[in-house]
Amino acid sequence: MDSSNSADSFNIRDYLRLEMFPHFLCPGCGHGIAMRALLWAVYELDIDKDKIAIVSGIGCSGRIGAYVDANTFHTTHGRPLAYATGLALARPDLHVIVITGDGDSLAIGGNHLIHACRRNLNMTCMMLNNEVYGMTGGQASPTTSETRYTTTSQSGSIEPVFDACALASAAGASFVGREVTVHTPNLKDLLRDALDHNGFSFVEVLSDCTEVFGRKNNLGESPEMILSQKSKMRPSSYGSANGNIVDEPFRPTTLPTGILTHKERAEYGDTYRAHVEKISGSVKNG
């Protein structure tokens, strides 16, 4: 990291389309924190904004890219990774970043995620996981914790959840990580490592949906919800007697954070271009 690129000198306004403000996010939404962490990582890596291509899908997460002063593409539901695949192959000089949600990438877009991991094309996928379809009615998503209430699970969800990071690792992603929004510097560091990795990087961000998921499940206001993320790192005996909502984990199960998978694999774009060159040479010589 360039010593001049410190937290004190980072100004998020330099990376935003200010004419798009005020933003559409609900008060307390964790997605804005995730966007800040991403742009902070971009700043530390000194990536030219003209060399960034952000591809997003449908949902609250899908709107994030519109606020970033870079090349941005708002695509169809569940398909940002498909669009990004073509873009990354055609323009390997770009830093292709996919911003997607738990419903966008694990439900209708699940196959695209699996095959993006399998191919290991050089791009970064940031999945914002708030456990709900926040923008389209508050329905249960593939990551809604069991017993949590949504508009489609009025008596509590009974479906087991996807562990998105385990799925990405099993499908072949060469970089996989997870972080919570309350640990913003850690999230920034994780995203910086993901952006700097040559191959497919998948980062799950556990984000708060205060207005839909939080209200439905009586998780308190934004301060209570974001502080509850910390309780997952506390001993299980702590806080159980006082009934303070801050000590109730945001999710019933504890999920590991940080870098979960980091391995070297052949990057698909390099392999593809070498294959094309080999075929072209064979045709010329034939």
State the average pLDDT over residues 31-53. 97
In one letter, which amino acid is 189?
A: D
CATH fit for domain 12-285, picks 3.30.1300.10, 3.30.1330.30, 3.40.50.720, 3.40.50.970: 3.40.50.970
Q: What is the mean pLDDT of residues 192-202?
A: 98
pLDDT tier at 5, thresholds 50, 70, 90: low
- pLDDT, residue 138, reads 93
Average pLDDT for the chain: 89
Is residue 238 pLDDT above 50, yes or no?
Answer: no
pLDDT band at 248; cut points 50, 70, 90: low
Tokens for 40? 């902070």
Count of CB atoms situated within 10 Å of the CB of 240: 11
Alpha carbon distance 132, 142 (integer Å): 8
Q: Give the pLDDT of residue 12.
A: 96
Within 13 A of 140's CA, how many CA atoms are on the CB side?
19
**Sign of the dihedral through C-alpha 11, 81, 165, 236:** positive
| pLDDT tier, 231 (very low <50, low <70, confident <90, very high otherwise) | low
Provide the pLDDT for residue 236. Answer: 43
Average pLDDT over residues 183-207: 97
The C-alpha torsion from 89 through 2 and 125 to 211, rounded to 10°, is -150
Mean pLDDT calculated for residue range 25-47: 96
Average pLDDT on 233-252 reads 47
Taking residues 46-55, report their average pLDDT. 97
pLDDT of residue 237: 38
- Domain limits of the chain? 12-285
| Neighbouring residues of 280: CB distance < 8 A, sequence distance ≥ 6 | none
Residue 243: the pLDDT is: 47
pLDDT for 256 beyond 70: yes
Q: Residue 276 class from Cβ within 10 Å (0-12 exposed, 13-18 middle, 19+ buried)?
A: exposed
pLDDT in tens, 56-113: 999 999 999 999 999 999 999 999 999 999 999 999 999 999 999 999 999 999 999 9
When pLDDT is averaged across residues 201-215 and rounded to a whole number, the result is 95
Band (pLDDT 50/70/90 cuts) for residue 3 is: very low
Residue 286: predicted pLDDT: 62
Residue 229's pLDDT is what? 80
Weakest mean pLDDT among 111-115, 188-192, 248-252, 256-260? 248-252
Q: Is the pLDDT of residue 31 over 90?
A: yes
What pLDDT score does 1 carry?
47
Q: In what order do the strands lie in the sheet with 52-56?
A: 71-74, 52-56, 95-101, 123-129, 200-206, 175-180, 258-262
Query: How many angstroms separate the CA atoms of 242 and 276, rounded?
Result: 65
3-state per-residue secondary structure call for 187-224 = HHHHHHHHHCCCCEEEEEEECCCHHHHHHHCCCCCHHH
Report the pLDDT value the prediction gives residue 136, as an integer from 0 to 100.
Answer: 86
Q: What number is the average pLDDT over the span 3-8? A: 61
Report the distance separating Cα 283 and Cα 286, nearest Å. Answer: 5
